[in-house]
Amino acid sequence: MGHVMGNFDPLAVVVNWLDACRARGLDELLDFYDTAATLECGCNGPHIYRGRADLAAPPRGRDPDAFRLTNILPGDEPGSAVLEYSSYEGKPVRIFFQFAPSGKIAATLCGPLDRRSKAA
């Protein structure tokens, strides 16, 4: 499914992360992140969330198609993955995950998915 790094498979972690999003399990979702993790979001204008408290900010809205998996693949670097899915608003999003050696998410970068250019 993906290349295994240490004792974890980044693609499997990303699938579990998406399941936690669907279930709206905030504590479970936050447990996927390293304590110093960052989330750089370009979906609604550039914003960087840093650390657990920032990441816990509640999302707005919920579309019935939210969190529908479109594509998942290994990232270009070891310990990374790319996920394409529907956002809270039901819009196509691409998110890059970079993992710490512990298997926790160290950094994420997301943005709207432009289907014409396949770029975030």
Domain membership of residue 9 (yes or no) is no
3-state SS string for 2-57 = CCCECCECHHHHHHHHHHHHHHCCHHHHHCCEEEEEEEEECECECEEEEHHHHHCC
Domain-located, residue 93: yes
Q: Is position 29 within any domain?
A: no
Answer whether residue 17 is part of any domain.
no
100 within a domain of the structure (yes/no): yes
DSSP 71: E
CB-based burial, 28-41: b 16+ in 10 Å, e otherwise: ebbebbbeebbbbb
**pLDDT attached to residue 65:** 76
| pTM confidence score | 0.82
**Which domain range does residue 98 map to?**
34-112
pLDDT digits (tens, 9 = 90+) for 81-90: 999 998 888 8
Look at residue 92 and tell me whether its pLDDT is greater than 90. yes
Q: What is the CATH number of the domain that holds 69?
A: 3.10.450.50
* Total domains present in the chain: 1
Taken in order 118, 20, 99, 12, the sign of the CA dihedral is negative
pLDDT(18) > 60 = yes
pLDDT band at 2 (very low <50, low <70, confident <90, very high): very low
33-65 pLDDT tens trace:
999 999 998 887 788 999 888 888 766 666 777
How many other CB atoms are there within 10 angstroms of residue 1's CB atom? 10
